[in-house]
Chain A
Amino acid sequence: MQSFTYERAESTEQAAAAVAARPDARFISGGTNLLDLMKLGIERPAHLVDISRLPLDRIEETDEGGLRIGAQVRNSDLAADPQVRLRYPMLAQALLAGASGQIRNKASTAGNLLQRTRCPYFYDRNMPCNKREQGSGCAALQGFNRMHAVLGASKACIAVHPSDMAVAMSGLDARIETISPRGETRTIPIGDLHRLPEAMPDVETVLAHGEMIASVTLPPPPPGRQVYRKVRDRASYAFALVSVAAIVEKSGDRIRSARIAMGGVAAKPWRATAAEHALVGAATSDTAFTDAAEAALAGAVGHGGNDFKIPLAKRTVRYTLATAAERA
């Protein structure tokens, strides 16, 4: 860990400008991810801009009937919010399935979206890793890759995005609102926030340096029952092997609309839009769920240690859809 300077931001605009002013500056929020990475020398910022005390910790209803979640809302507060629990239950479920009580008390909404992969080679500076050091190679490709991606990966990187919260938000069509160093705001659909690795796994999002997430807006919840299912190696305090957020809207015993988002399978929360379309109008049957699961994993590729994720994800999609359709 190298020495760094620290400032506490006074306002959103000032924070963004302060980070933009120095290429080696970073925002710090709860610090539950960034500090760990700094201690291991993986992130080496020379300047930290602390945004944790900015007044971005409110959850408000929007004019369209959705929710605006401030970037600083703690994961535990968001999970406990009555509106979230009532209208966006799969978001509350996803949050509570993540990390531990202590970490959720500290973790912020924006920090959770921007947390970095848990690939163990990324965490070890002696190992080649294109994400940490562009061009050094990917130790996971032929190494221990049980936790790694089966969708959207590249030869350069097969890491996954580890968040649970982001998967539920993806299923809810969340929009990310940012503020630029010059005070301009923009809105990014959650599906466009994270990049797939391609040849540049070190560039993980579309955010510019110094661009700060101010809030996350959820549109009004879509009709249908929401379910988040996280599959993991132990009962709590483990990252997802795969996770599925599903919403199924029924009309009689037919499906009117469906949403499927998957975690633990790619470098970003993975929306299975083709599978969603195929479900529209289908009967709420085992066959329909099984077919949708096949479609959701179309094109999936394993790398040895993580081959099991493909059947696991299929089975989890099938079961979660059935649960959302109140069939299981």
Chain B
Amino acid sequence: MAKTMTSENRPSGPHSGAIGRPIDRIDGPLKVTGRATYAYENALEDMAYGCILGAAIAKGRIAEIDTAEAERTPGVLLVMTHRNAPAQPDFGPAVTPTVPEVFTRARPALNSRWVRYYDEPIALVVAETFEAARAAAGLIRVRYDAEPGRYDFRMRVAEAYAPKRTNAGLETDSVIGDFESAFAAAPVKIDTAYRTPFEHHNPMEPHATLAAWSGNELTIHTSAQTLVNFRAGVASTLGIPPERVRIVSPFIGGGFGCKLIVHADTILAALAAQALQRPVKIALTRQQMFANAGHRAEMIQQVRLGADNDGRLAGISHDVWSATSSFEEYCEQTAAFTRSLYAAPNRITRHRLVPLDINRGEWMRSPGEAPGMLAFECAMDELAERLSLDPIELRTRNEPAQDPERGVPFSTRNLVACMEEGARRFGWQRRDPTPGRTREGRKLIGYGMAAAIRPNYIGAATARVAIDRNGQVTAWLDMTDIGTGTYTILTQIAAESLGLPIASVKVKLGDSRFPRTAGSGGSWGAASAGSALYNACNALKQRILEAARSSEASPLHGANATEASFADGEVRVGQRSASLADLIAEIAPDGFEAEGSVAAGATTESYKAYSQHSYGAHFAEVEVDCDTSEIRMRRMLAVMAAGRILNAKTARSQILGGMAWGIGAALMEETVLDPRSGHFVNHDLAEYHVPVNGDIAEMEVVFLEEHDDKANPLGAKGLGELGVCGAGAAVANAVYNATGVRVREFPITLDKVLAALPLTAI
């Protein structure tokens, strides 16, 4: 049996204390009392309001745009179209020369009469009030020369091409051994295709910007996950040096990957503010976010598994066809996790893209694993059934000794322990492996499980930390807290490192003037920014100790024991100790400051030498109505092994959120692209369903004890997105177990189950 996390055996440094504790979010009181200022809530004197008008066609050109009436509307200050927008660089090629440039490239707006996707901005109205701007936008008359476009992904799969790389620069294909022969020879085979739909991030807070110029310096208050990307994107679009752009984003109402790059609200606010010499504020409407702020593309995935009669895999093949934008390629790394998950000598993973006349996809809630595991972990369930093998046993039999494609050892890998602990806690043995047989009243009951895997990334990050004469610590990073708890865990790291109470530490985030980090994305935030801050605190302690030993005024003058510690507000060197605050006041009335950094993971030796992932197992129980096929959750359990847990409460919240998104992907999230017009039909939150409270039911999260010393000095690993990986597949497998109906087109809405569900006698 695996050891779960308790306070006694939690690994930690010698000055154990704050790290790991389930303390409440430090920004919580500000948020629940409405005092945390979100981008659109910022106000500046003399600011004006913008409203964007989007194209009513998806492909073609603007033949004529008549703005006269809009310009005459009282209160209107500016109507910007391709005719009068300031010059900007061309958008450029569909694929940037290097991977990072996708985040920093120019993203011009209103710079052409050509329309590339439905609802692309074609005009901006700026007025004294938002209402006047919106009313005037409605008065712009546009005539288009529309052209036929490509909008039907499924009809065009034959047009697929192989991209040069997938997201994050990962390989497009991997081929090991001879899959086709192994598959042909395998006595037990699964060959099955799954479809996942377009999905949208839908954070609560829409994309919004307040831009203000002061001379040639531009300040942008916005909602951004990664400030350096925003700064670079604005600078390259406006053709100014990044140093003249300041991005401020202290509070973010959710991102889920759609706030990693600049969007039209930011570019247009900056351009309009420059033209008017006044601050300008613009938000995308909820409807506009569907076309203008990223999505997850529709995909078809074919999974082929060949096994011997004992369930040992001889071959794994995972093929992905995904929609992409015709003008900017984005290839989600949907089959990349398959390269590390299970053992098999013969393997193929491939990614192919089908270009459509739509806007680009963006990095959405665990790009790759979220749709990939939804399909692949269902295929594993299908194989288990074919073999009459328990799904956990099947996975255990294919547990690899080392990374199956890279051939390097795992830093840590506790997948089997997660599955075993989960099975015990969930009562997995109560599951009837024959589907459709467990009924309570008029509900069919089903259990499902799936594995979770998510790569550990580290992004380059720097932190600055200072201590003043009162023993108060301030840390600065351009990191963001997108609602995940970053303020809180960073506070805990600094407090523990310096042996001070939480209340003595203030963490400042969300300003591009602060030291540069990789921001929030790819679940790398906590480990990257956390490690940088940890190193900064160590550097600060060195400074303090050096001065304490050498300064005449110091109570620790001359203390030469090598043993030194910072705990309970005191500095101890050998047998001697002093209050940290008193010490600073004596030896450095101006306080001390230090910086610390981490390098990007992919460049480190440890990253090359080890396969680094976090793991988990999801369990789900669902009920399906015999009469209507309505699917409702009964309970879910996630058992996770993700390195050292920095805050048991915020970590749990992260996993809970991921599990909720798993329910969304399995049962309800889908954006419908109208193949006639190229527009997303259900573009609001009444028609695009995300799970609500009533859909969640009971949820439990357990963390296994783990400390990954290969990952970083903290021993922590990426966690945020792990919760969604495999969660949907556990739900889908439970629906199958309940009903005996295998739906391979997500989401599993009731209509797809209904037709196959026989009437139950009354």
Instruction: State the A residues within 8 Å of B (CB).
Output: 1-3, 40-41, 118, 120-121, 123-124, 126-127, 139, 142-144, 146, 231-239, 241, 286, 289-290, 308, 311-312, 315-316, 318-319, 322, 327-328
Contact = CB atoms under 8 A, between A and B. Distances in A.
A241 B138 contact: no
A152 B693 CA distance: 35
A253 to B, nearest CB: 13
Question: Which 10 A-B residue pairings sit nearest by Cβ, starting from the closest?
Answer: A235-B694, A308-B751, A319-B627, A236-B694, A126-B56, A286-B762, A322-B762, A144-B681, A231-B628, A235-B695
14 contacts: A2-B135, A123-B684, A143-B674, A232-B630, A234-B667, A234-B689, A234-B691, A234-B694, A239-B686, A290-B759, A312-B629, A315-B754, A315-B759, A316-B628
B692 interface: yes
A322 B759 CA distance: 14
Contact of A286 (B674, B755, B761): B761
A143 B676 contact: yes
A120 B762 contact: no
Contacts of A126: 56, 679
A144 B672 contact: yes
Contacts of A40: 287
B687 A234 contact: no
B669 to A, nearest CB: 10
Interface in B669-684: 672, 674, 676-677, 679, 681-684
A315 B679 CA distance: 34
Contacts of B695: 234-236
B698 to A, nearest CB: 13
B195 interface: no
A319 B629 CA distance: 12
Interface of B: 56, 131, 134-135, 138, 287, 442, 627-630, 632, 667-668, 672, 674, 676-677, 679, 681-684, 686-687, 689, 691-695, 749-751, 754-755, 759, 761-762
Contact of A241 (B135, B667, B694, B750): B750
B762 A1 contact: no
Chain B CB within 10 A, most for which of A118, A231, A289: A231
A146 B692 CA distance: 21
Given A1-B134, A2-B138, A234 B627 contact: no
A318 B682 contact: no
Contacts of A124: 679, 681, 683
A312 B686 CA distance: 22
B677 A1 contact: no
A134 to B, nearest CB: 20
Contacts of B667: 234
A1 B138 contact: yes
Nearest to A320: B627
Nearest to A41: B138
Given A2-B135, A316-B627, A328-B762, A127 B750 contact: no
Contact of B692 (A142, A144, A236, A239): A236
A200 to B, nearest CB: 25
Contact of A311 (B135, B630, B755): B755
Nearest to B57: A126
A3 B135 CA distance: 8
Contacts of A286: 761-762
Contact of B762 (A144, A233, A318): A318
B627 A235 contact: no
A171 B668 CA distance: 31
B134 A328 contact: no
A15 B199 CA distance: 45
Nearest to B747: A233
Contacts of A328: 442, 762
A146 B672 CA distance: 11
A308 B682 contact: no
Contacts of B629: 312
Nearest to B749: A233
A234 B668 contact: yes
Contacts of B762: 286, 289, 318-319, 322, 327-328
Contacts of A315: 627-628, 754, 759
Nearest to B684: A123
B628 to A, nearest CB: 5
Contacts of B681: 120-121, 124, 143-144
A234 B749 CA distance: 9
Q: Which of B668, B691, B761, B762 has the most CB of A within 10 A?
A: B762
A186 B523 CA distance: 64
A143 B682 CA distance: 12
Given A235-B694, A237-B692, 7 more contacts: A231-B628, A290-B759, A308-B754, A312-B628, A318-B762, A319-B442, A319-B762
Contacts of A233: 668, 689, 749-750
A126 B683 CA distance: 13
Nearest to A162: B686
A328 B443 CA distance: 12
Contacts of B682: 120, 144
Contacts of B761: 286
Given A126-B679, A308-B755, A231 B689 contact: no
A92 B112 CA distance: 55
B623 to A, nearest CB: 11
A231 B679 contact: no
Nearest to B673: A144
Given A143-B681, A318-B627, A118 B687 contact: yes
A290 B672 CA distance: 34
A312 B692 contact: no
A236 B627 contact: no
B694 A312 contact: no
Nearest to B632: A235
B689 A127 contact: no
Contacts of B750: 231, 233, 241, 312
